A = this chain, B = another copy of it.
Amino acid sequence: MEINVIKIGGNVIDHPEKAKAFLQAFAEFPGHKVLIHGGGVLASRIGQSMGIVPNMVDGRRITDKETLDIVTMVYAGLINKNLVAQLHSFGQPAIGLTGADGNLIRSTKRPVGKIDYGYVGDVAAVNTGLLEALLAQKISPAICAITHDGKGQLLNTNADTIASAVAKSLAQKSHQVNLYFCFDRAGVLMDEKKEDSLVPLINEDIYNELKKEKVIHSGMIPKLENAFNALNAGVYNVWLGLPENLILASKGINAGTTIRSQRYDLY
């Protein structure tokens, strides 16, 4: 089947009006679709209300026991269940899942290297059968950024990485998979301050060139690395952009950045 894996960024979820507009677009989006989300902004705020200060290294959250409890509460509870309830109100059946539910995503705790990330998991296996069974019934899985090790331990896993891993695993089962990253940017921009400096199409050569020129930097690097990684593992199409342009993207109108594998010619 053709499956659309749509990841929504934390900055969008954190604004009720933006989140609502995104969920309406998700409900209208044609075909089979999977929703992926995290929610770091809200997790940090709720943690702080409990006196727990977030500890970030290079944009990655160090997840001690208390932080794991907070992200589990916020991602799998507060955010996931409100998203699911709203999707139903827009006519889109959905089931909210962590990696623990139905053993959907098993991960391994990241080994301690220079940095001890704590309870952070790297994806080991995706139970694509569960996703296929839900999608066949027109139910959208809504997956949050919590996984498990199969031995009773929950682990915190980056939501972009989950989106990429889910897309790749489905592609490996011969589905045609499109991966959409919705966030608070129009896509890859030549000038971050100008939304009209959008790069509509990018491949690895252009990416490497733009990275060298520091046009692409910091948080955009892992996002694009995830994208190329997915494309090279058989994902059909990857798109980056604003949630309000998601429906246009579904119609082939590129109001964002489309990412192409080196295997294809750009134009």
- Partner among B49, B50, B80, B154 whose Cβ is within 8 Å of the Cβ of A85: B154
Number of interface residues of A (CB under 8 A): 38
**B101 close to A84 (CB less than 8 A):** yes
**A100 close to B93 (CB less than 8 A):** no
20 A-B pairs besides A77-B78, A82-B154, A88-B100 with CB distance below 8 A are A49-B50, A72-B81, A72-B82, A73-B74, A73-B78, A74-B77, A75-B77, A77-B80, A81-B146, A81-B154, A84-B101, A84-B148, A85-B152, A85-B153, A89-B150, A93-B102, A94-B101, A95-B95, A96-B98, A96-B100
- Partner among B49, B82, B85, B89 whose Cβ is within 8 Å of the Cβ of A51: B49
Residues of chain B within 8 A of A75, CB atoms compared: 77
Knowing A89-B150, A150-B89, the reply to whether A100 touches B84 (Cβ < 8 A) is yes
Residue A86 lies at the interface, judged by CB distance under 8 Å to chain B: yes
Residue A139 lies at the interface, judged by CB distance under 8 Å to chain B: yes
Residues of chain B within 8 A of A152, CB atoms compared: 85-86, 88-89
- Partner among B77, B95, B154 whose Cβ is within 8 Å of the Cβ of A76: B77
Residues of chain B within 8 A of A101, CB atoms compared: 81, 84, 94-96
Residue A151 lies at the interface, judged by CB distance under 8 Å to chain B: yes
Could you say which of A80, A95, A146, A154 has the most chain B C-beta atoms within 10 Å of its C-beta?
A95
Q: How far is the CA of A100 from the CA of B78 in the complex (A)?
A: 12
Cβ-closest chain B residue relative to A100: B85
Q: How far is the CA of A200 from the CA of B31 in the complex (A)?
A: 55
Residues of chain B within 8 A of A72, CB atoms compared: 77-78, 81-82
Residue A14 lies at the interface, judged by CB distance under 8 Å to chain B: no
Q: How far is the CA of A77 from the CA of B101 in the complex (A)?
A: 12
Residue A103 lies at the interface, judged by CB distance under 8 Å to chain B: yes
Residue A126 lies at the interface, judged by CB distance under 8 Å to chain B: no
Residue A69 lies at the interface, judged by CB distance under 8 Å to chain B: yes
Residues of chain B within 8 A of A139, CB atoms compared: 102
Cβ-closest chain B residue relative to A102: B95
Q: How far is the CA of A75 from the CA of B73 in the complex (A)?
A: 8
Q: How far is the CA of A85 from the CA of B76 in the complex (A)?
A: 13
Residues of chain B within 8 A of A50, CB atoms compared: 46, 49-50
Residue A182 lies at the interface, judged by CB distance under 8 Å to chain B: no
**A95 close to B97 (CB less than 8 A):** yes
**B88 close to A81 (CB less than 8 A):** no
Q: How far is the CA of A76 from the CA of B142 in the complex (A)?
A: 14
Cβ-closest chain B residue relative to A84: B100
**B94 close to A81 (CB less than 8 A):** no
Knowing A85-B153, A88-B148, the reply to whether A69 touches B78 (Cβ < 8 A) is yes
